[in-house]
A and B are shown apart, each in its own frame.
Chain A
Amino acid sequence: MSTLNTHAVDKQKLIKQLQHIMPARAVLHQREDLRPYECDGLSAYRELPLVTVLPETLEQVQAVLKYCYQHEIPVVARGAGTGLSGGALPHADGVLLSLARFSQIIDIDAERRIARVQPGVRNLAISQVAEKFGLYYAPDPSSQIACSIGGNVAENSGGVHCLKYGLTVHNIQQLTLLTIEGELLSIGGGGLDCAGYDLLALLTGSEGMLGVIVEVTVKLLPIPERAQVILAAFDDVAKAGAAVGDIISAGIIPAGLEMMDRLAIQAAEDFVHAGYPANAEAILLCELDGTNEEVSSHVAEVREILKISGATEVRTARDAAERALFWAGRKAAFPAVGRISPDYYCMDGTIPRKQLPHVLKTIASLSKEYDLPVANVFHAGDGNLHPLILYDANKPGELERTEEFGGKILELCVEVGGSITGEHGVGMEKINQMCVQFKALELSQFHAIKHAFDEKALLNPGKAVPTLHRCAEFGAMHVHKGELPFPELERF
């Protein structure tokens, strides 16, 4: 696939050189030391890198990049390795560049409500430190105790509060980036916009393909005066889906609006005993936040709406403890499903909200067809589905069947006007589905963007954007060789 590494990299020489750049303990090259880095959160894909480096200073990262650029060695950046699409999967002939040691919160400017942090800082750590100023960082991926802010930027991560507060791209102000040549670029600015093109937007979600993020300035928000969560049960998934639209058309944007189906409810209930109604086909969790007065009026309104939409039961958390309990079930949904099945495969597609009933029905019939159960947990407010396919990797053929089923779900999302990934990224996992989402011309435009930053295609090669050749093989798209605008792009 990659024509890049026809020349073999001299591993011993590379190690020696890297040991010049940083202390020997920061250069891992023994098989057993490399093991922890062979995969990210998508453990079905594994590969050992040639070397893993754990630099501690900007100069060290810069020197690694310069060396790799000069010698045409692939570089894969890694944050906490919680990614779910194989984005941080190592390259067999490359260097895995861990940013884990960059874990300092450099500065919190409470007056401007910003925090300047190193890329390896954990998402939750920012809110924990900001709390004493009455502030917090809004995007809250479920992995927030572990995932790094650098990884969040690279994936444009979201969380349950994105409906109201936006994704990573809406909550960052400035980045410091190292290019593959080792050049330091400051992107964004101290104000709310910057001169030139919006490179901040282009880099957010770029999956480590365009540069290495070495510093992030995030925006902080005042902690809301009050947050209240409402739990509504439904005897029909379609009714729950419709209720989501009803709340939004009433002019209310909840802080979070999450949905779980029967299998997910049961798994969560067995695991954390959140008190979810056992017989429900679906539940909605609707969190309202803001000033005390506003929350009071919205709670009353939403309760009414939910009842009119056919909820069989509507509960409002009485206190902070009950609120935490309502959320506990949702937040533990993935591990809960992990308890009832040997393996599960988490999908991440988005759809226009109105397509929810149709898509859920189709997933249910695909589930029968493939003979694999599916638990649905999703960010209903913004149409981001996380179907969890339950399977057993030890049963021959079941992983392959699962992947095929997953692919079908993503293609369904595209068919109804949605996307193959809402927040987990393309990485290695969804590279084939990119051929379904985009035409050859758009993929070529992506390759041209990559070329603008990384002409030698050394950063995270083979990820995020498929070669046209690969798409042709996948069969989703027909490529007329002669029409390729950039024949040299084949190697990306």
Chain B
Amino acid sequence: MSDISKNLQQQIVSACEEKRALRIAGGNSKTFYGNTVVGEAINISGHRGIINYAATELVITARSGTPLQEIKAALAEHRQMLAFEPPQFSDSATIGGTVACNFSGPRRAYAGAARDFVLGCNIINGKGELLSFGGEVMKNVAGYDVSRLMAGAMGTLGVITEVSIKVLPVPEIEITLAFECSARKALDDMHRWSRLPLPISASCYDGDRLFMRLSASENAVDAARKQMGGEKVAAAKDYWKKIREQQHAFFNSDKPLWRLSVASNAPPMHIDGKCLYEWGGALRWLESDESATEIRKQARAAHGHAILFRDMEGTANGEKFHPLSLGLQRIHKNLKTAFDPAGILNPGKMYPEL
């Protein structure tokens, strides 16, 4: 438990005065993600501790450097959870880094992303101002929703120092059903089921089999299982952990790993390589040597975008994220200026101009 926000603020104030770039480091579990930042490290991991957690209020507030593990453990004691099921990628992952990347796991399509559960944030902007937005209440429309804007901004708009997150009860029971099928059939089935009031909480097609997780009361899960068929998977918890943490055999490759966020019912893409489907078809992991131009073209045609998630060769620096339209580029630059006029916070982490 320690509060080093004054210290962090001081570092940012002087970096701003001297126009020195800062590289924001949480647990360093996700440094592979995004473009390389050249700058002096500002380390958040010492800023840790759960500040407030009342199970009946369904909210937890923690300093941003608090390890994700510590938060999950505290919630588990009250049979609650982070419903966006964030990946950790390493034991050192922090809650601040998780929110900054808006990382969400298998439950995302059914419960929401990290950004959906963010209720409030304290941040230090690029001028070194400590600001507080949102709060611990479920509904709050006073002022612009800066807290959610921080989710996925990858530190380029501010250093998150504290975050309040809505939490949910752990479902009574979870089972996973598996179905052997083609990609086409898997997509069809996922869509057919998602239109019915079934307690689905995760879906994944790994190239051979479709896995569907059900979460609800025991009788509801049993009833859904009868309706859907399939085979009950024995070590289901481990399966979803491996998908979430990218430890599944699929991810064991030296090819570039692309993350495609597309219309869920887009047909399987014509790209050489392997594809793993999650989120009812809306998230596709692609291992391929195909050119960025081609992958982005197909992602766009499927109403989505593509991120180079892991770049094995390290040659694509600066171009990992999907290019923005000119209009959006302008708004992004203006927002960057609004929060970080000197351009010192994680410059280039997302886009070269931010």
**CB-CB contacts below 8 Å: A425-475 with B:** 425-426, 430, 434, 437-439, 441-442, 445-446, 448-449, 451-453, 464-465
Q: How far is the CB of B3 from chain A (nearest CB, A)?
A: 19
**CB-contact partner of A189 in B141, B224, B303, under 8 A:** B303
With an 8 A cutoff between CB atoms, is B55 at the interface?
Answer: yes
**CB-CB contacts below 8 Å: A196-224 with B:** 196-199, 201-202, 204-206, 210, 222-224
**CB-contact partner of A251 in B169, B199, B302, under 8 A:** B169
User: Could you pull out 10 A-B pairs where Cβ atoms are within 8 angstroms?
Assistant: A201-B115, A202-B146, A222-B197, A246-B56, A251-B169, A290-B216, A293-B220, A298-B217, A354-B56, A451-B334
Query: Are B138 and A350 in contact (CB-based, < 8 A)?
Result: yes
With an 8 A cutoff between CB atoms, is A248 at the interface?
Answer: yes
Complex Cα spacing A439 to B220, Å: 48
Given A222-B196, A421-B140 in contact, is the A191-B262 Cβ separation under 8 Å? yes
Complex Cα spacing A422 to B325, Å: 33
With an 8 A cutoff between CB atoms, is A225 at the interface?
Answer: yes
**CB-CB contacts below 8 Å: A269-317 with B:** 290-294, 296-298
Q: Which of A12-20, A59-67, A166-174, A387-395 contacts B (4 or more CB under 8 A)?
A: A166-174
Given A156-B141, A167-B139, A192-B109 in contact, is the A249-B170 Cβ separation under 8 Å? no
Chain A residues lying within 8 Å of B131, measured Cβ to Cβ, are: 439, 441-442, 445
Given A170-B116, A196-B321, A449-B146 in contact, is the A112-B197 Cβ separation under 8 Å? no
List the interface of chain B (C-beta within 8 A of A): 54-59, 78-79, 102, 108-109, 112-113, 115-116, 125, 127, 129-133, 135-146, 148-149, 151-153, 157, 168-170, 172, 191, 194-199, 216-217, 219-220, 222-224, 260-265, 279, 282-283, 302-305, 307, 321-325, 327-328, 331-332, 334-335, 337-339, 350-351
Q: Which of A69-77, A179-187, A232-240 contacts B (4 or more CB under 8 A)?
A: A179-187
Query: Are B216 and A291 in contact (CB-based, < 8 A)?
Result: yes
**Which residue of A192, A198, A223 has the most chain B CB atoms within 10 A of its CB atom?**
A192
Closest to A199 in B: B331
Chain B residues lying within 8 Å of A204, measured Cβ to Cβ, are: 145
Chain B residues lying within 8 Å of A418, measured Cβ to Cβ, are: 135, 137
Chain A residues lying within 8 Å of B116, measured Cβ to Cβ, are: 166, 169-170
Chain B residues lying within 8 Å of A442, measured Cβ to Cβ, are: 131-133, 143
Complex Cα spacing A452 to B331, Å: 6
Closest to A211 in B: B331
Query: Are A451 and B338 in contact (CB-based, < 8 A)?
Result: yes
Complex Cα spacing A351 to B59, Å: 13
Closest to B140 in A: A419
Query: Are B143 and A438 in contact (CB-based, < 8 A)?
Result: yes
Residues of A in contact, count (CB < 8 Å): 94
Q: How far is the CB of B244 from chain A (nearest CB, A)?
A: 16
Number of CB contacts from chain A to chain B under 8 A: 262
Complex Cα spacing A78 to B260, Å: 37
Given A198-B115, A222-B196, A382-B138 in contact, is the A293-B223 Cβ separation under 8 Å? yes
With an 8 A cutoff between CB atoms, is A383 at the interface?
Answer: yes
Q: How far is the CB of A141 from chain B (nearest CB, A)?
A: 12
Q: How far is the CB of B214 from chain A (nearest CB, A)?
A: 10
Q: How far is the CB of B164 from chain A (nearest CB, A)?
A: 10
Query: Are A222 and B141 in contact (CB-based, < 8 A)?
Result: no
**CB-contact partner of A198 in B149, B220, B283, under 8 A:** B149
**CB-contact partner of B220 in A179, A294, A438, under 8 A:** A294
Write out, one digit per residue, whether chain A residues 103-122 have a CB within 8 A of any chain B CB (1) or not (0). Answer: 00000001111000000000
Q: How far is the CB of A328 from chain B (nearest CB, A)?
A: 24
With an 8 A cutoff between CB atoms, is A417 at the interface?
Answer: yes
Chain B residues lying within 8 Å of A382, measured Cβ to Cβ, are: 137-139
Chain B residues lying within 8 Å of A294, measured Cβ to Cβ, are: 199, 216-217, 219-220
Query: Are A419 and B135 in contact (CB-based, < 8 A)?
Result: yes
Chain B residues lying within 8 Å of A184, measured Cβ to Cβ, are: 327
**CB-contact partner of B143 in A167, A353, A434, under 8 A:** A434
Chain A residues lying within 8 Å of B130, measured Cβ to Cβ, are: 441
Complex Cα spacing A249 to B57, Å: 8
Complex Cα spacing A485 to B217, Å: 54
Query: Are B144 and A206 in contact (CB-based, < 8 A)?
Result: yes
Chain B residues lying within 8 Å of A346, measured Cβ to Cβ, are: none
Query: Are A192 and B324 in contact (CB-based, < 8 A)?
Result: no
Chain A residues lying within 8 Å of B170, measured Cβ to Cβ, are: 251
